[in-house]
Amino acid sequence: MDKQSRWAQLRPYMMIAPAMAGILAFVIYPILYLIYLSFFKYNLMNKDKSKFIGLDNFTQIFTRADFYKALSNTMIYTASVVLLTMFISLLIAVWLNKKSKINVIVQAGIFTPHIISIVSISLVWLWLMEPNLGFLNYVLKTLGLPPSQWLQSSKTALLSVIIVSVWQGIGYYVLIIVAALQSISPSIYEAAALDNASKWKVFYKITLPIISPQLFFILVIMTIGSFKVFDTVQVMTGGGPNNATNTIVYYIYGFRTTNIGYSAATGVVLMAIIGLLTFVYFRLLSKKVHYQ
């Protein structure tokens, strides 16, 4: 029956059609429209006044000093946040791995920042870091250390934002790593103990490879997430002082009312960078990741 076999062929497509319709409407179409916008000096309110300017937006992006400033800020931010969060989360997770009452409480405590709105967190840290009346400088002064200008100096502002992001992110990643650690079968450790393997060796040769899929997952999502940092910057510094904390997404946001074509072009550049990064990760690291 010809009719029936054609239906059999069509059926899977029909089944995924609703989901694909959603993806087309809310993912593919916006991306294509973004690329379309990036070739225009676009007038949102009056389309007749939009001007096609070809690649001008892109030439402008790559010749402007503030774009490179935003790009390098974003890179420094991403690298620091990813490395620090990974390292500290792993350390805490290994420490909290043993199940005891204290550990459960500590783990809940560390996780708490994750369930609080990042805006509230940013505001609280904004007060803590106030140079004259803030708590952090008070502590520094009592300890006899020189106070810092924190968010108000272009030298320390980016570092301050990084501290807040790391502090907020750790809890969530500790949770993932602890879950991964506890899924390791005890028999492997028992075998290692029989062989008199040192603690470091057990960690390096057994624990790390087994939890590597989770670590890889964290690495990828955290890199992408950090590249798109926005809320902390918006609340705490507004990109300042003097662009010291201006990141790419905030840079895009800065042109929202005045030049949406330029914003769109920067968005396309950001998409390309993140795509490239993810691709590199998968090529380089997927071989080192141990899937059971």
Partner 1 sequence: MKKNKVTLLLVLTMIISLLAGCAGANNGSNTNSGTNSGSANTPEADEQPAKGGKTTVQFWHSLGGKNGEYMDALIKTFNETHSDIEVVGTFQGNYDETVTKLQQAVAANTAPDVSMLERAYVQMFADSEVLEDLTPFLESSSLSADDFTAGLMGHSTFNDKLVSLPLNRSTPILHVNKSMLDEKGLAVPTTWEEMNQVANALVIQENGEFKRYGFTMPYDTWYPIAMISQAGGKFFNDDNTSIGFADNGVGEKVFNQLKKLQSTGALYYPPAQDSGNITNQMFVEGKVAMMYQSTGSIGGLTEAVDFDYVTAFLPKDEVFANPTGGANVAMMSGSKNKEAAWEFIRWMETDPQGGLQFILKSGYLPFTNKMVESAEIKALWEKEPNRKVAYDQLQYAVDTNKAVAWPEVMHEFFSAIEAIMYDSKDVKSTLDTFKKEADRILAQ
Q: Which residue of 16, 23, 25, 44 would you call a contact of partner 1, by CB under 8 A? A: 44
Look at residues 169, 179, 41, 192 and name the one whose alpha carbon lies nearest to residue 115: 169
> What is the torsional sign of CA 277, 282, 283, 286?
positive
Those residues with Cβ within 8 angstroms of residue 56's Cβ, 6 or more apart along the chain or in another chain:
41
How many CB atoms are closer than 10 A to CB 65? 8
Q: Which residue of 107, 154, 156, 278 would you call a contact of partner 1, by CB under 8 A? A: 154
230/250 Cα distance (integer angstroms): 6
Give the binding range for partner 1 (CB under 8 A) out of 23-31, 45-53, 180-188, 266-274: 45-53
Q: Which residue of 45, 143, 194, 284 would you call a contact of partner 1, by CB under 8 A? A: 45
* Identity of the residue, 12 or 186, whose beta carbon is nearer to partner 1 in the bound complex: 12
Residues 90-129 that bind partner 1 (CB under 8 A): 126
256/265 Cα distance (integer angstroms): 12
Q: Is 4 in the site for partner 1 (CB under 8 A)?
A: yes
Q: Which residue of 14, 102, 115, 143 would you call a contact of partner 1, by CB under 8 A? A: 14
Give the binding range for partner 1 (CB under 8 A) out of 146-154, 198-206, 209-217, 220-228: 146-154
- Residue 40 phi, psi dihedral angles, 5° rounding: -120, 155
Total site size for partner 1, rule CB under 8 A: 30
Q: Which residue of 34, 43, 94, 167 would you call a contact of partner 1, by CB under 8 A? A: 43
* Identity of the residue, 216 or 251, whose beta carbon is nearer to partner 1 in the bound complex: 251
Residues 58-87 that bind partner 1 (CB under 8 A): 66
Residues 231-270 that bind partner 1 (CB under 8 A): 236-238, 240-243, 254-259
Written as one string, the DSSP assignment of 102-133 is HHHHHHHHHHHHHHS-HHHHHHHHHHHT-TTT
Written as one string, the DSSP assignment of 126-182 is HHHT-TTT-HHHHHHHHTTPPP--GGGSTTTHHHHHHHHHHHHHHHHHHHHHHHHHH
Per CB under 8 A, residues contacting partner 1 are 4, 7, 11, 14, 18, 41, 43-46, 49, 66, 126, 151-154, 236-238, 240-243, 254-259
